[in-house]
Amino acid sequence: MHPVLYLLLLSLGGLFLVGTFHASIYLQQKDKAYLHYAAYLFVMSGFTIVRILDARLTTLLPLDYYTVETLDPMLSNLGFLMYVNFLGVALKVRPEERFHWRSWTFIQYFICIFVPIYGVLRLLRWLPELSAGLVSIASFAVCCFGMLLAIRLVRGYRDPFYRLIITGTLVAVTGVIAGLIVNAVYGNKLAFQGLSVMQASILLETIFLSAALGYRLKQFYQEREHARQALLEETRRNEALARQAADLLRRELDVQTLKSRISRDLHDDVGASLSSIHIYSDVARRLLAKQPGKAEELLQQISDNARAVIENMSDIVWAMKGGEDGSLPLSARIRNLGSELLGPVGIDATYYFDAAIDAGVQDVHQRRNLCLLVKEMLHNIVKYSGATQVLVQGRLQDGGWLLQVSDNGCGFDPTAVRRGNGLAHLHVRTADIGGSCCIESALGQGTVITCTLPLPTSREVTHATIG
C-alpha cells in the first residue's frame, strides 16, 4: 500500500468525525458557524475520498487520472467556499458592510455557477482551455475574498477565538502553498508528495479551528450563565419590590384600619363622655339653686368624665406617636399609668422591662391596646385586690415577650368568680394584638396575670433592666 494512502485514510476519518461533531453542535445551538465549518469538513472529506480512489493508489473502485483531475478543482473550490462562508459568519459580516457583503454574495453565486458548468465541460470534454481558465478564475476569486476576510480577521487578534482561527488559516494556507511548491518541483500537480503536505496541514488546521469553535461554545455557555444570573438577580429584585409594595399596601391598610378604630374610639368613648358632660351640665345648672347637693354630685361626675376624656385622648396621642422623638417608650408609659392609678391609693409598684421591648413595640394599634390592657389590670387591682405591692414585668422570650402583672392582694377563685367585663376585656384586647392571656389566682394568695405577646422586631436583644 502506498504510504500516502495511510495519511489519506487518517484524514478522511478525522475530517468526517469532526464534521459530524460540529454538525451535531449546530443542531443544538443553531449557530451557523458550526454548520458552515461542518459543510467545509464534509466537502474536504469528499475531496479526500476522490484522492483515495485514485487509480494510482488503489484498485478498489479506481478513478482514472482525468476524473480525479476533474473532481479535484470542483471539490477544492467548493470547500474553499464553505471555509469562506464559515469566516464570514464567524466575523459577523452584515449588509451594512457593503463591500464585504457584496463580495461575499458574488463569490457564493459565482462558485455555485462555476461548479456545474466546469463539470459539464469536463464530462463532455469540451473547450479544455475554457474549463482550465474557469478553474483559475474561480480559485483566484475565492483566494482574493479570503484575503479580504483575513485582513478583517486580523483586527480582532486580541480575542482568543480570532487568534485560533488566524493560526488555523495560516497553517492551511502554508500547507497548500507548500504542496504546490512540491508539485512544481516534481512537475505534477497531483504529485503525492505535495498532497501529503496539504492533507497534513488540513488536519492541523482542523485542530485549531475546532479549538476556536470550542472556545466559542464555552463563551456561549458563559453568556447564558451570565444571562441566567442576571435573570435571577432581576427576579430577586422584582420579588423584593413586590414585598415592598405588599408591605406598603399592608401599612396603608393598617393605617385605614387604625383610622377606623380611632374614629370608633373617639365616637364611643370620647363622644359619649362629651355628650354626658353636656347633659350633666344642663341638669346641674337647673338644679344649682334648688338642689345644690345634687348639682354638686353632677359637677363631680362632669369632672370625672372630663378626666376620662383627657386620659383617652392622652392614650391615643401616645399610641400615635410610635417611636418618634420625644415619645415615651412603653415601659415609661406603664410607669406613669401605675403612678397615676396606684400612687393615690398607697400601693407600691416595682417595674422591670427588658430594653429591647421598648424598641420592638412601635405599632400604633399594639401600643394603644397595651396601654388599655395595663390600665384595665391596674384598675382591677385598685378596685378589688386590696393589695399593697404590685410587680409589673416585661420579659423577652422566644418569638415574643411576656407582660406580667402580679399583686399580693386577696386573690379570688377563678372557677367560682363570675367573669365580668373587666376580665373579658383582658382576653379580648390581648387576642386583638395576636397574644393570649392567662389569669392565675387563689384566695389569699394574690393574682398573677400573664399576657404572651408578639414582638415585631429582628434586632439582637440586649437584656437591660429598667429600674
- Asked if 402 and 453 count as a contact pair (C-beta separation under 8 A), the reply is yes
Asked if residue 11 and residue 120 are part of one domain, the reply reads yes
Residue 306 resides in a domain: no
Tell me the Cα Rg of the chain: 49
Report the CATH number that the domain containing residue 351 is assigned in CATH. 3.30.565.10
Grid cell at residue 64? 482514472
Give the residue from 216, 235, 254 where a domain finishes.
Answer: 235
Task: Return the amino acid letter for 107.
Answer: I
Instruction: Give the pLDDT score at 322.
Output: 59
Residue 286 resides in a domain: no
Instruction: Give the pLDDT score at 280.
Output: 66
Residue 153 resides in a domain: yes
Grid cell at residue 370? 397595651
Asked if residue 217 and residue 343 are part of one domain, the reply reads no
Of 437, 349, 345, 343, give the one whose Cα is nearest residue 393. Answer: 349
- Asked if 455 and 361 count as a contact pair (C-beta separation under 8 A), the reply is yes
Range of the domain at 454: 329-467
- Asked if 316 and 277 count as a contact pair (C-beta separation under 8 A), the reply is no
Give me the number of domains the chain comprises: 2
Asked if residue 199 and residue 69 are part of one domain, the reply reads yes
Rounded to whole angstroms, the maximal C-alpha distance in the chain is 150
Report the CATH number that the domain containing residue 215 is assigned in CATH. 1.20.1070
Asked if residue 178 and residue 41 are part of one domain, the reply reads yes
Rounded-to-integer distance, Cα 379 and Cα 308, Å: 13
Residues 6+ apart with CB under 8 A from 329: 358
- Asked if 464 and 409 count as a contact pair (C-beta separation under 8 A), the reply is no
Q: Report helix, strand or coil for 155.
A: coil
**402: β partners:** 395, 452
Rounded-to-integer distance, Cα 322 and Cα 112, Å: 83
Strands 348-353 and 447-454 turn out to be unpaired
Residue 272 resides in a domain: no
Asked if residue 231 and residue 345 are part of one domain, the reply reads no
Question: Interhelix angle for 192-265 vs 32-52, to 10°?
Answer: 160
Instruction: Give the pLDDT score at 318.
Output: 67
Residue 248 resides in a domain: no
The torsion defined by the Cα of 362, 367, 370 and 371, in degrees rounded to 10, comes to: 130
Instruction: Give the pLDDT score at 461.
Output: 36
Asked if residue 150 and residue 7 are part of one domain, the reply reads yes
Instruction: Give the pLDDT score at 393.
Output: 93
Of 166, 172, 198, give the one whose Cα is nearest residue 90. Answer: 166
CA atoms within 13 A on the CB side of 424: 4
Give the neighbor-by-neighbor strand order of the sheet with 400-407.
Answer: 348-353, 389-397, 400-407, 447-454, 436-441
Rounded-to-integer distance, Cα 243 and Cα 55, Å: 79
Residue 395 resides in a domain: yes
Give the residue from 185, 213, 235 where a domain finishes.
Answer: 235
Give the residue from 179, 209, 235 where a domain finishes.
Answer: 235
User: What are the residue ranges in the chain where pLDDT is below 70?
Assistant: 1, 186-191, 254-255, 258-259, 261-276, 278, 280, 305, 307-308, 311-327, 417-422, 456-467
Instruction: Give the pLDDT score at 403.
Output: 93
Instruction: Give the pLDDT score at 258.
Output: 66
Output the CA torsion sign for 260, 360, 406, 413. positive
Residue 275 resides in a domain: no
Asked if residue 345 and residue 206 are part of one domain, the reply reads no
How would DSSP label each residue in 78-129? HHHHHHHHHHHHHTT--TTSHHHHHHHHHHHHHHHHHHHHHHHHHHHT--HH
Instruction: Give the pLDDT score at 459.
Output: 37
- Asked if 407 and 385 count as a contact pair (C-beta separation under 8 A), the reply is yes
Residues 6+ apart with CB under 8 A from 71: 47, 50, 63
Residue 264 resides in a domain: no
Rounded-to-integer distance, Cα 106 and Cα 138, Å: 11
Q: Report helix, strand or coil for 341.
A: helix
